[in-house]
Structure 1
Amino acid sequence: MVMDSLLSILFFLLTISSFNHASSFTSQPSYKDHCGSIVPESTANELIPSSFPFDDHHTGYFTGGDSIIDGGTSLNQYFTFQPMYIRATQFSELFKVEGSVSLTSSISYFYPVGNFSYDDRLRYERRRRYRRSHVNFKLEGFWSESSGKVCMVGTGNGYSKKGKYLNLDLVFKLVNVFNVSNITSLVSGSLESLSSQKDENYFEPISVLMFPKGNYKYTLDSTEVANEFSSGSDAAKGGFSLNSLSFCSRPLSRAIRRLQLEFSPKCNPSKNCTPFSESSGPLVSLMSLKGIECSLANNKHRLRVMMRFLNASDYWIGQSFNPKTMLVGEGWWDEKKNMLCVVACHIIGKTSSLTGSHVGDCSVRLRLRFPSTWSINSTSRLVGQIWSNKSTNSRGYFKKITFRNEEDGRVGIFQATKYEYSQLDRVKKLCPTPKPTKNKGKRYPDAYSYDMRFDMAVRESGKRVAWGYSTPVAVGDKVSSWGNVQNSTVEVFEEKLNSGGLFNISYKISLWFNSTNVQNSIRNQSSWSAGISAEGIYDAGTGNLCMVGCRDLHSNPLIPTAHSVDCEIVVKFQLPPLDEKKGIFIKGSIESTRKNSDSLYFKTLELSSAAFYTEVAEKAVWRMDMETIMVLISTTLACVFVGLQIYHVKKHSNVLPLLSLVMMTILTLGHMVPLVLNFEALLAQNPNNKNFVFGNVGWLEVNEIAVRLITMVAFLLQFRLLQLTWSSRKSDESNKGLLTAERKGAYVTLPLYAAGFLIALLLKLKRDGEVVVMTPGNQHHSSWENLKSYGGLVLDGFLLPQIILNLFSNMRENVLSCSFYFGITFVRLLPHAYDLYRTHNYSQLDNGSYIYADPSADFYSTAWDVVIPLGGISFAVIIYLQQRFGAHCILPQKFKGSKVYEKVPMVVELEAEVETTNL
């Protein structure tokens, strides 16, 4: 009974709480009090087909509301109005509307994702992340078709900047909501809080703006306007033709970002060189073009567009919606001239609010085309012009602006198909044909292959100043898809390529500098980067690439002028052969042919890059697969040999105390350390921290798990053998002399290891040429690699502690089974034999690609691969001789009589004692 009463009370309290919580959302503000004077209220009837001029999901823009949403500093912010139910009323032009309003903003920021390996170097990488804010409202109200006004009330929920949950009451107002619209139609409105300003649920007024889509009529493409696009040099150039089926499905009807603006050289920030008469300060440098609506009517492609002008810094850090730097317009595709023509208009309104904004002053013209032919001076996928049809002295006039796009992947489908060379005569003079060399049998990268793309380190006067990236633009007159050429083109030149021919080739080189303080640099003033377009000749028979380059010049960073170029540049690269086994590095240079006194002269830049050829990478993947199998086989054999030794000591328990604890400890650690390191790496695994060459190879991860499992088995078996040895020592208290021998052996072994570490370290440093350590991080990395390498060397000589213990104990027993000491020796020395094979058959890559015989885990070179196996075999032979002829058999004759510990059987001792008593 008591339990039932408690449950009843608890259920009553939960019901009251749920009712109060639900009532906070269901109670709507009074429509009559807040909207009655704007749109009258009426009784709603049945649902009707949507006669509302907005579709089911209509988007727009907003400003304000900073207390509930990050609208002032967001990168992307948009407003969504979604009508859900439309009901007729007693009046024919009055409708009840139920729907929702959403406000969304995205804030952009960078976060680190770790490092990736390339050319045995670590590079830091950052990625962009977006934090989204979202507020949703449920509304109901009325729409007057005759006045075009909408008024709705409702509730919503959100969070304050301090993270506190808020219940929001509001009124939503719109104007100019008509069934028919044109370029001058803008739907504007506001979201206003119904709470007092002192209430924590209060938020600042939010202004909204939408471009109506329903029943839109194009009115700006008149015959007079079309004539304005007939003049100009840009109009005479050809480009891609778009058919009626693909026009509205292409990026042209969506968004094209980062269009680079280039102003007239006569412009300066104090003059009006932009479409915005009220603009001040530095000129904007970027423009984005976004399609609002695309349609095909009367066999004519039409497009509504929105143009947004902004600075490069605003593009990355974001800025709030600002109609003062935006244009809205109508465009159409001219099929005869293969270009887009746009008539653009200003959005006129208040500075502080979007309410009451309207469109006017349609004096801006835009022309856009997609070039079908590229050259060294222009590799832009999209080019165009912006100008004003006003007279020079009129308010709002501005000088013609050109723009181009080279980075946005959204326009990649409009890539040019032909390349025109203009610098080949200069290339022949500046790049004389090298003398024939004895390169018979050597193969160099295919001119059409992905191997022609590479990044590079850039040095100036021996100092690292930048890094860069080189990408082929065209081979012959065919433009490549950034390194991938059509198969038909490759087949045409296959015969010539096999004979080692010469190829005309074009490149695009991008450089990013570590600092803007580099003197006499190729970079632009106050810029971190530099771009070079180059064309020249590639000799597929020698791997020599020589080109003439042109770099963009921007004399004044505040005024991005129509780009001028400096073509007094020579770019050279020497590619290594495909079958090179060592030093697979691309070497090159960027030189200025100007005199030192010339203002455009720059010091020679030295270029270097690791050549990760596709063929080499494919062989490396096959090698990694084979190495994984070898690891599995070697570890399995180690398990078998240790198991046989355990069986041996179980069968001959008297030899168990004679095993060297130092040797057992070394072998146990040899299996434990990789397990610990792999487990730590597994816990800290970062999916973004992948090898640059091989990426995320799923089967490698599966095989890694198998290797770890078998290594775990080997570790457990070896640990069991160590435990048995230690237990036998503790239980056999009569063998105190054996403990003394173990201690003496340790006194000899440990100094030998210390001295060996110093000697091996010096030899390895001399071989690798590591004389100067660049940074503390590299020093730590190098020390750890050296420690791992010496640990592998100690494991290779794992029998040394047993040999020394045998000498001090004068052992005469078969302590180690033949299968153990010869088998483990074979397992330890097999990687060195494989390394000799690998050196002569595979190219050297970064250490991250080695699974078996890892150079960072042991000493590997031609000399070490001979010395270490000879030493390991010698140790195994010594153990064999000691167990067959006695531990001292390897000593010179004069040392064999030394007093050493010898285990005397108990039976012999008793017999000697009895004989003494009888005497």
Structure 2
Amino acid sequence: MAIYKVLKRTIDDMIVIMNSHLTMFFFLFNLLTISSFSSSQPSYKDHCSSIIIESTPKDLIIHNSFPLGDQYSGYFTGGDTIINNENSFNNKYSSFYLRHIKMHETINSDLFKIESTVSFRTTPNTVYYHVSNFSYGNKPSSRSQHRFKTSFVTFKLEGFWSKSSGKVCMVGTGIGYSQTGDSLNLDAVFKLNNVFHSSNITSLISGSLESLSSEKGDEKDHYFEPISIMMFPKANYSYSLDSKEAENEFSFESDVSEKKGLSLNPYPSSFCSFPLSRAIRRLRLEYTHECNSSKNCTPIISDQLPYMLSLRGAECSQENKHRMKVMMVFSNKSDYWIEKGFNPKTTLVGEGWWDEKKNSLCVVACHFIGIMKSSLNGIRLGDCSVRLRLKFPSVWSIKNTNSIVGQIWSNKSANDPNYFKMITFRNFEDDRVGYRASKYEYSQLERVKKSCPTHKVVKDKGRTRFPDVYSYDMRFDMSVRDRESNIRVASGSSAPLSVGDQVYDDPLTISNSTSETPMVMFNNGSLFNISYKITIFSNSTLYNRNSVFNLSSYRVKISAEGIYDARTGTLCMIGCRDLNSKAGTPLAGSVDCEILLKFQFPSLDAINGSYNIKGSIESMRKKSDLLYFKSLELSSYAIYSETAITAVWRMDMEIIMVLISTTLACVFVGLQLYHVKKHTNVLPFISVFMMSILTLGHMMPLVLNFEALLPQNYNSKNFVFGYVGWLEVNEIAVRIITMIAFLLQFRLLQLTWSSRKTTESQNGLWIAERKASYVIFPLYAAGLLTSFLLKLKNDGFQHDSSWENMKSYGGLVLDGFLVPQVILNLFSNMNENVLSCSFYFGTTFVRLLPHAYDLYRTRNYARLGDGSYFYANPNADFYSTTSDIVIPLGGILFAIIIYLQQRFGAQCVLPHRFKGSKVYEKVPVVTESEAEI
């Protein structure tokens, strides 16, 4: 689910980027189109002179002196005829932009001429289809009519601003579309109020854009509904809400005993920078147990309790680093991932300041009042009774491991209709804030000692090592199974939060603690106090009363603390899980701390493949308790850092061994080709079956790994040890050398096949080959059956795939590649040096070297996943202590038999009574062209 959120966030960012490009495209397009109508601007005198009298402008253009700057943005509603404003249906307002603002002085010192463009933007462009019914004869039918609405409309405007009254009035032209898609010239008047050079929290700028066409008659296609707009002030903002009375409201009785928070450095400007600005946009709200509905429990108008608070739109003061403007946006659980416009009913606007004495952010927030259904003209800020305090805890505990915590409350009395109960909030656990506590305080260690007795260490000759408490090896992902049914019900991750009282800065280092208390260690430094953060994600949507997810959502967060024994690799902790109400609403301080967690880490010295972290999560409550849940078993395949480093070195060595072995195979096949070139008469006596086996042995790696020869998509790699570029280069080199070996072997097979002429002696060799096959096929079939049975026995009847078993047996056949030649020699009674010594002894050495290496590897390296093996892969042959001894002895035996057969005759290895007398003639001559290599 975490991956889903990251993916969704990435997609949302991409959509924002695409929409911004679309916005710019339509803006430029509309602006160019508007320029063609500039000669027919509406009359300012007819529509604005009653508001601001017209004055003669001067030539001088004044830069950056307009209170809204060169460009500014705000929110709007209305204009449904010309713009697709879906937000108007859910009481949210879309954005508009004032751009390219130019200002001229006039002969009247109070009046200034203004030129600007105003752009209204909503969702991406959409074509709507309206279906209407009609009759054709006696059969009802229907047809669709296109109705066009654009998501972007721009007007080019000119007019005047009165500095004393704060009013703006401009007229201009824009481009719209009729319902059939025809371009329309839209004349409009644009009005603004409260545009002053100074502003405060109550100074909202409101206004409207109204059509100058008639709603009836010939101009009705050019008419559009009024657009109501609102903007927050920008110039010379005056902070006025941080009075002495307001500051006193942020002093709690608990401040005396409450731990002091972390200082914010540099000052509140950090709230306007990443990553803190992102973290304060995702603050989870928690309510008291009495809050089952939104009545008296939330400061906004809502049918349900908001799930998240977002502090955004923050504007940090440049003159006073301790002050900032804050927009508090409340959202429900269903849409807290997506920002959908501006809704004054769920938004508060306030002023904040950083209290250096308490190291906390204090905010006084105001409601929007005078909200009308279809207009923003009467909206204003008032009722500044909401208070917010945010801080960064300097000390963490099992019940609070968040980087940001805070409270929201009302300064009204409980009898006031606008009063609400205090709300607490905290940041989401997966948000990186940039500020972390400097100390962790333990509270459950006595319970841990009672529930987890210390194991006695058995003294032995060798010293068993377990992961270092400060290492990355203490982090692990896990699979969660129900202990009773053994069904996988969840997955999760766990990571240390602190060791002793020192908090982890990152997965590999410990922060410099400001505490004077040393880290708690006892028993000669072998036992460590440790805390963890554990997250479990459910794999099922089914509700189960006795599930750990019974009073939570799809995710359970557990904070745990306990003792890690570095002598035995055992970790035992008491944990607390967050609880929600049945409706899924987070409750303040609602946790279940009756959870026992146990983990067993494998030894660093394990080489038998047992690198599984085992563990359990158990409820310490009675089964009749509502918070009881069934026990869970945890498992995780661990690859320690030390093991990974050693494995990378082993993989490097294996790649080198593969390169050497494949190169030697090419050399030995080349020597055999040279041998048959000098002795062309021996070609017909080479076993075609043996040549086919060797050729297939070189071909299969090329077929199965052909993508290694092509450009790789490195993003698809999923190596546990990370991607190493030169490793890919070596893999390609191995494939190329393997291809050379395959081509040489195939050439030798071709020469052997073509040398079998249709003379009587060569016909006899084909007969001998056929007789040999009658022995070889049953022998290989019996071997295949035996290998399957041995695999089942050795693996404890675990059902490996048939393909894996076939690959292993194929490797065994290659190890005994000389068997077909030995049998053919017996049936043909051959007495020639058919194979060169370098070929059959050298190839035997190449085939048997992996088994010798496997004996060494088994005793010196841990068994890891098959993907980490480049040489002597267990899936490509039989590898065990017995196989690594028996198979090399068998291969050497066959090489010795070939040597004896070529030295003393093929049947010299048989008892005297089984020896035959028929000897095939030598092949007199093979033409040079036929034997050409």
Structure 2 length normalisation: TM-score? 0.81
Q: Give the unaligned 5+ runs of structure 2.
A: 1-28, 126-149, 926-933
Tell me how far 1:311 sits from its aligned partner: 2.3
Match of 1:892 among 911, 920, 923: 911
1:248 is matched with which residue? 269
Distance 1:702 1:58, change over 3 A: farther
- Is residue 361 from structure 1 mapped to residue 380 from structure 2 by the alignment? no
Distance 1:867 1:847, change over 3 A: same
- Is residue 571 from structure 1 mapped to residue 597 from structure 2 by the alignment? yes
On the 8 A contact 1:373/1:420 being kept in 2, the answer is yes
- Is residue 48 from structure 1 mapped to residue 74 from structure 2 by the alignment? no
Query: Aligned letter for 2:690?
Result: M
Tell me how far 1:356 sits from its aligned partner: 5.7
Tell me how far 1:744 sits from its aligned partner: 3.2
- Is residue 512 from structure 1 mapped to residue 537 from structure 2 by the alignment? yes
Q: Deviations over 1:1-40 (max 9, x none)?
A: xxxxxxxxxxxxxxxxxxx999857524667339772586
Query: Aligned letter for 1:804?
Result: I
Tell me how far 1:740 sits from its aligned partner: 2.9
2:10 is matched with which residue? none
Distance 1:895 1:466, change over 3 A: same
Match of 1:305 among 326, 331, 335: 326
Q: Which structure carries more relative contact order (alpha carbon 8 Å, separation 6+)?
A: 1
On the 8 A contact 1:236/1:337 being kept in 2, the answer is no
1:794 is matched with which residue? 813
Task: State how 1:450-489 maps to structure 2 within 5 Å.
Answer: 450-460=472-482, 461=484, 462-486=486-510
On the 8 A contact 1:253/1:293 being kept in 2, the answer is no
Q: Deviations over 1:611-646 (max 9, x none)?
A: 221111111111111111112111211221222222
Hey, what's the Cα distance between the residues in 1 that align with 2:757 and 2:84?
Answer: 72
Match of 2:686 among 644, 654, 659: 659
1:180 is matched with which residue? 198
Hey, what's the Cα distance between the residues in 1 that align with 2:284 and 2:853?
Answer: 55
Tell me how far 1:301 sits from its aligned partner: 0.3
Worse-matched range after superposition: 55-64 or 865-874 = 55-64
1:14 is matched with which residue? none
Aligned residue pairs total: 846
Hey, what's the Cα distance between the residues in 2 that align with 1:340 and 1:593?
Answer: 40
Match of 2:113 among 80, 95, 98: 95
Secondary structure, aligned partner of 1:551: strand
Match of 2:307 among 262, 274, 285: 285
Tell me how far 1:861 sits from its aligned partner: 1.9
- Is residue 437 from structure 1 mapped to residue 437 from structure 2 by the alignment? no
Hey, what's the Cα distance between the residues in 2 that align with 1:557 and 1:548?
Answer: 27
Task: State how 1:680-699 maps to structure 2 within 5 Å.
Answer: 680=707, 686-691=713-718, 693-699=720-726
2:551 is matched with which residue? 525
Hey, what's the Cα distance between the residues in 2 that align with 1:345 and 1:690?
Answer: 52
Distance 1:448 1:151, change over 3 A: farther
- Is residue 716 from structure 1 mapped to residue 743 from structure 2 by the alignment? yes
Hey, what's the Cα distance between the residues in 2 that align with 1:615 and 1:452?
Answer: 13
Tell me how far 1:261 sits from its aligned partner: 0.9
Secondary structure, aligned partner of 1:257: coil
Q: Deviations over 1:813-853 (max 9, x none)?
A: 22222212222222222222212211111112211222222
Distance 1:892 1:182, change over 3 A: farther
Hey, what's the Cα distance between the residues in 2 that align with 1:199 and 1:650?
Answer: 98
Tell me how far 1:531 sits from its aligned partner: 1.9
Worse-matched range after superposition: 234-243 or 872-881 = 234-243
Hey, what's the Cα distance between the residues in 2 that align with 1:26 and 1:340?
Answer: 49
Match of 1:27 among 36, 44, 56: 36
On the 8 A contact 2:390/2:404 being kept in 1, the answer is yes
Secondary structure, aligned partner of 1:845: coil
Secondary structure, aligned partner of 1:835: helix
Query: Aligned letter for 2:887?
Result: I
Secondary structure, aligned partner of 2:890: helix
Tell me how far 1:368 sits from its aligned partner: 0.8
2:659 is matched with which residue? 632
Hey, what's the Cα distance between the residues in 1 that align with 2:829 and 2:77?
Answer: 92
Tell me how far 1:89 sits from its aligned partner: 5.2
Distance 1:733 1:209, change over 3 A: farther
Tell me how far 1:210 sits from its aligned partner: 4.2
Distance 1:641 1:304, change over 3 A: same
Structure 1 length normalisation: TM-score? 0.82
Task: State how 1:715-754 maps to structure 2 within 5 Å.
Answer: 715-729=742-756, 735-754=762-781
Tell me how far 1:584 sits from its aligned partner: 1.1
Tell me how far 1:390 sits from its aligned partner: 1.8
On the 8 A contact 1:94/1:143 being kept in 2, the answer is yes
Hey, what's the Cα distance between the residues in 2 that align with 1:69 and 1:670?
Answer: 66
Secondary structure, aligned partner of 1:342: strand
Match of 2:732 among 705, 725, 747: 705
Q: Deviations over 1:175-231 (max 9, x none)?
A: 344432222234456789999999999999887654343322212111111121123
- Is residue 865 from structure 1 mapped to residue 884 from structure 2 by the alignment? yes
Secondary structure, aligned partner of 2:705: helix
Distance 1:380 1:193, change over 3 A: farther
Aligned-pair Cα RMSD in Å:
4.1
Hey, what's the Cα distance between the residues in 1 that align with 2:872 and 2:220?
Answer: 71
Q: Give the unaligned 5+ runs of structure 1.
A: 1-19, 108-132, 774-778, 908-919
On the 8 A contact 2:681/2:924 being kept in 1, the answer is no
Query: Aligned letter for 1:665?
Result: S
Match of 2:247 among 226, 230, 245: 226
Distance 1:692 1:387, change over 3 A: farther
Identity %: 59
Tell me how far 1:660 sits from its aligned partner: 2.5
On the 8 A contact 1:590/1:604 being kept in 2, the answer is yes
Distance 1:135 1:895, change over 3 A: farther
Query: Aligned letter for 1:657?
Result: P
2:350 is matched with which residue? 329
1:562 is matched with which residue? 588
Tell me how far 1:561 sits from its aligned partner: 1.8
Worse-matched range after superposition: 374-383 or 598-607 = 598-607
Hey, what's the Cα distance between the residues in 2 that align with 1:844 and 1:572?
Answer: 25
Distance 1:234 1:811, change over 3 A: farther
Distance 1:56 1:21, change over 3 A: closer
Q: Deviations over 1:659-709 (max 9, x none)?
A: 333322322222222223323467796544333522222222222222222
Hey, what's the Cα distance between the residues in 2 that align with 1:416 and 1:871?
Answer: 66
1:267 is matched with which residue? 291
Query: Aligned letter for 1:361?
Result: D
Distance 1:414 1:710, change over 3 A: same
Hey, what's the Cα distance between the residues in 1 that align with 2:811 and 2:71?
Answer: 66
On the 8 A contact 1:537/1:545 being kept in 2, the answer is yes
Worse-matched range after superposition: 708-717 or 467-476 = 708-717
- Is residue 677 from structure 1 mapped to residue 704 from structure 2 by the alignment? yes
Task: State how 1:742-891 maps to structure 2 within 5 Å.
Answer: 742-771=769-798, 782-891=801-910
Tell me how far 1:94 sits from its aligned partner: 2.5
Hey, what's the Cα distance between the residues in 2 that align with 1:466 and 1:228?
Answer: 45
Tell me how far 1:534 sits from its aligned partner: 1.2
On the 8 A contact 2:167/2:192 being kept in 1, the answer is yes
On the 8 A contact 1:64/1:71 being kept in 2, the answer is no
On the 8 A contact 2:93/2:343 being kept in 1, the answer is no
On the 8 A contact 2:440/2:502 being kept in 1, the answer is yes
Tell me how far 1:538 sits from its aligned partner: 1.0
Task: State how 1:369-380 maps to structure 2 within 5 Å.
Answer: 369-380=391-402
